Structure 1
Amino acid sequence: MATGRLAGIARHDRPRGPIETLDHVAVTAAAGVQGDFRGAVRPGKLPRRQVSLIEAESWNAALAELDRAGDADLPWWKRRANLLTQGIRLPRTPGAVIAIGADLRIEVTTECDPCSRMETVAPGLKAVLTPDWRGGVLGRVIADGEIALGDEIRIVE
């Protein structure tokens, strides 16, 4: 079974709010990434976008296409994703399950399409994040867990 590592954790408490990076966090089916505004489940709704994940390899490839590889002004969290994975290809299939650490399980719901806001981050960023799900995946929490940088990531279903 292929494994990777959790290389980054981020959250923002409101739309367009500042990003906070973390070393560890609780992630739950009721609230998503603790303290992130997107995770809360509204009554009567099935969550589709509780947690967003992006591959470090995809982010780096996008920056390379922009001739901005290694640019300190473009850290991964500018994508506004919650989790940065490293060393594992995230599933491109809704229904697949990603395990992080001992307990957290996230079901992939859809691709995280890059929005026009990416153009304000860097001209051309939206276009280079578009192919092959480079912008990441969205998911819903199906098993709560505490996670920390360096935790193992596995695809379990």
Structure 2
Amino acid sequence: MTGRLIGIAWRPARFAPMQTVDAVEISLEAGVAGDHKGAKFKRRAVTILAREDWEAALAQLAAEGDPGALDLDWTMRRANLLVEGVRLPRAIGATLRIGAALLEVTYPTSPCARMEAARKGLLKALHPEWRGGVTCKVLEGGRVSIGDEVAVVSSPPERHIKLPG
């Protein structure tokens, strides 16, 4: 199962706006170059969001009476990489190849209060089925660019983790 990378973003500080780019270096030392989290939190160095999961969360908000939610940009999720055409593994220890980088899933990305601040109901809409994406540690660094292939290299059996909320 392969997909492609359709978005790259990073932020220089905790509450800073997301910066989008067409290509970025990912390293063991810093995670996504320029992003404030990678060097500090190695097990959460890179966050990945699937377009299909993001759209499912927004569709849920729209169905609950907020049609404007469908226009919410993916960077509101504050993830580093946006992929499409591949189902992100719902299993800790799974590995993904994105361009030159090899990443290991360490946990589902836990939606935080910032999601609720971005849009009422978004926090709850991101909880089911790991819709908020995955956090990863870097196993092999390298340059990634928009359009790069995304492939699940390996995935242990899926685990259903009850996220808070």
Same fold (TM over 0.5): yes
Is the contact made by 1:25 and 1:33 (CA closer than 8 Å) also made in structure 2?
yes
d(CA) in 1 for partners of 2:68, 2:117: 18
Is the contact made by 2:4 and 2:83 (CA closer than 8 Å) also made in structure 1?
yes
| Correspondence for 1:91 among 83, 89, 92 | 89
Which residue does the alignment assign to 2:119? 122
Which residue does the alignment assign to 2:134? 137
Consecutive unaligned residues of structure 2, counting only runs of 5 or more, are 155-165
Which residue does the alignment assign to 2:55? 60
Which residue does the alignment assign to 1:105? 102
Tell me which stretches of 4 or more aligned residues in structure 1 moved more than 6 Å.
none
Q: 1:2-60 CA distances to partner (integer Å, 9 max, x unpaired)?
A: 10000100000000111100100000000000000000047xxxx21000001000000
The amino acid across from 2:105 in the alignment is V
Which residue does the alignment assign to 2:28? 29
The amino acid across from 1:66 in the alignment is L
Deviation at 1:71, TM superposition (A): 3.7
- Structure with bigger helix share is 2
Q: Identity, % of aligned pairs?
A: 45
d(CA) in 1 for partners of 2:47, 2:104: 11
Kindly indicate whether residue 77 of structure 2 is the aligned counterpart of residue 82 of structure 1: no
Kindly indicate whether residue 46 of structure 2 is the aligned counterpart of residue 48 of structure 1: no
| Correspondence for 1:148 among 130, 145, 149 | 145
d(CA) in 2 for partners of 1:140, 1:128: 25
SS of 1:10's equivalent in the other structure is strand
Consecutive unaligned residues of structure 1, counting only runs of 5 or more, are none
SS of 1:156's equivalent in the other structure is strand
d(CA) in 2 for partners of 1:34, 1:117: 23
Is the contact made by 1:60 and 1:69 (CA closer than 8 Å) also made in structure 2?
no
Aligned-residue CA RMSD (Å): 1.3
Is the contact made by 1:38 and 1:50 (CA closer than 8 Å) also made in structure 2?
yes
